[in-house]
Amino acid sequence: MPKLKRTAEETEARREGPEFIESLDRGLRVLRSFGIDRRPMTLSDIAKACNLPRATARRILMTLQKSGYVVGDERLFSLTPHVLTLASAYLASNQISTIMQPLMDEVSAKAKEICSLAVLDGDDAVFVARASPARVFPSGIDIGYRLPAFCTSVGRVLLGRLSNEELAAAIDATCLKSQTPETIMDKSLIVAAIIIDRSKGYSMVDQEAEAGFRSVSVPIHRYDGGIIAAANIGAHVDRITTGEMIDRFLPLLKEMAVTAKPLLV
């Protein structure tokens, strides 16, 4: 039997007790690996991406294939649409998306721009809902899209819920990767920017996450004041100035956040 390769995370989890199911964790890692290169993958690709022996990766793939989540011909493997049932289960059971969607639709119609909603997942901001006016072709950021939290307006709003000490520790532990020439890479400056944004009640990021794109975000609070999501409106720099974003979009986002607060538990 081939010796199993364990990641540092798996080793740590094994120390925590018998409740951790390694086989389930490996299966989830295989599913996530398909998003790395956005193409069908070979068995060797998957085994390498997941740090697993080929035999283990193959057994997982055969199980996923029989369950309908993966399709393959023994050479190339890819996900099937059945994987979307996992995402739809999250969206259907998540009150944030359900409550925020109609409010976002209204904001998007008034702003005539796309309005998006994101939550924090590790070091990333993950978009879980969006609204688009009829005249705007829905492209770019979509549901499930991930961006580094440290350099995005939604991410900085979400990180702002941490205390100063927790924030400094979180940024210090984050592996920063420049997204554009404008991305701030000095960790002390990032922490300072998030603290300033927290005091303002919103975050504006100008071309740090994506070249030619700026956005403004506000925190979405639940009924007790806790920040559970962030809503933003973004636009290309050629169409909207930072001043226009503050004057036109920020009041709409803040009004939406106030309306949503008593509805979110």
Among the three residues 30, 63, 83, which one is the final residue of a domain in this structure? 83
- Within-domain flag for 172: yes
Cα 253 from chain centre: 19
Question: What DSSP line would sit under 152-209, residue for residue?
Answer: SHHHHHHHTTS-HHHHHHHHHHS-----STT----HHHHHHHHHHHHHHT-EEEESSS
How big is the CA angle at 130 (ends 247 and 207), to the nearest 5 degrees? 55
Among the three residues 52, 83, 114, which one is the final residue of a domain in this structure? 83
Does residue 146 share a domain with residue 53?
Answer: no
Which residues, 6 or more positions from 176, have their beta carbon under 8 angstroms from its beta carbon?
148, 150, 185, 187, 190
Among the three residues 83, 112, 141, which one is the final residue of a domain in this structure? 83
Tokens of 17: 């007790």
Does residue 208 share a domain with residue 101?
Answer: yes
Does residue 167 share a domain with residue 65?
Answer: no
| pLDDT for residue 3 | 46
Does residue 136 share a domain with residue 60?
Answer: no
Does residue 51 share a domain with residue 149?
Answer: no
Identify which of 255, 147, 163, 238 has the alpha carbon closest to the alpha carbon of residue 202: 255
Tokens of 63: 């199980």
Does residue 204 share a domain with residue 148?
Answer: yes
| pLDDT for residue 12 | 52
H helices of the chain, where?
Answer: 8-16, 22-33, 43-50, 54-66, 84-93, 95-111, 153-159, 164-173, 187-200, 242-244, 250-260
- Within-domain flag for 229: yes
Does residue 118 share a domain with residue 79?
Answer: no
Does residue 242 share a domain with residue 125?
Answer: yes
Q: What is the CATH number of the domain that holds 13?
A: 1.10.10.10
Q: What is the CATH number of the domain that holds 128?
A: 3.30.450.40
Q: Are 180 and 213 in contact (CB under 8 A)?
A: no
What Å distances lie between residue 84 and 53, 102, 116, 166, 211, CA to CA? 27, 22, 20, 34, 30
| Residue-by-residue pLDDT tens, the chain, 265 positions | 444 555 555 555 554 567 888 989 999 999 989 876 668 899 999 999 999 999 999 999 999 999 999 998 878 999 998 988 887 777 777 788 889 999 999 999 999 999 999 999 999 999 999 999 865 555 556 788 899 999 999 999 999 999 999 999 999 999 999 999 999 999 999 999 999 999 999 999 999 999 999 999 999 999 999 999 999 999 999 999 999 999 999 999 999 999 999 999 8
Burial 115-154 (b: 16+ CB within 10 A, else e): bbbbbbeebbbbbbbbbbbeeeeeeebeeeebbbbbbbbb
- Within-domain flag for 196: yes
Does residue 245 share a domain with residue 195?
Answer: yes
Identify which of 175, 154, 149 has the alpha carbon closest to the alpha carbon of residue 234: 154
| pLDDT for residue 75 | 84
Does residue 180 share a domain with residue 55?
Answer: no
Q: Are 105 and 113 in contact (CB under 8 A)?
A: no
Greatest extent of the chain over all pairs of C-alpha atoms, in Å: 65
Does residue 251 share a domain with residue 130?
Answer: yes
- Within-domain flag for 89: no
Domain extent for 254: 94-263
* Number of structural domains the chain divides into: 2
Tokens of 166: 């927790």
Does residue 198 share a domain with residue 106?
Answer: yes
- Within-domain flag for 2: no
Which residues, 6 or more positions from 135, have their beta carbon under 8 angstroms from its beta carbon?
112
pTM: 0.78
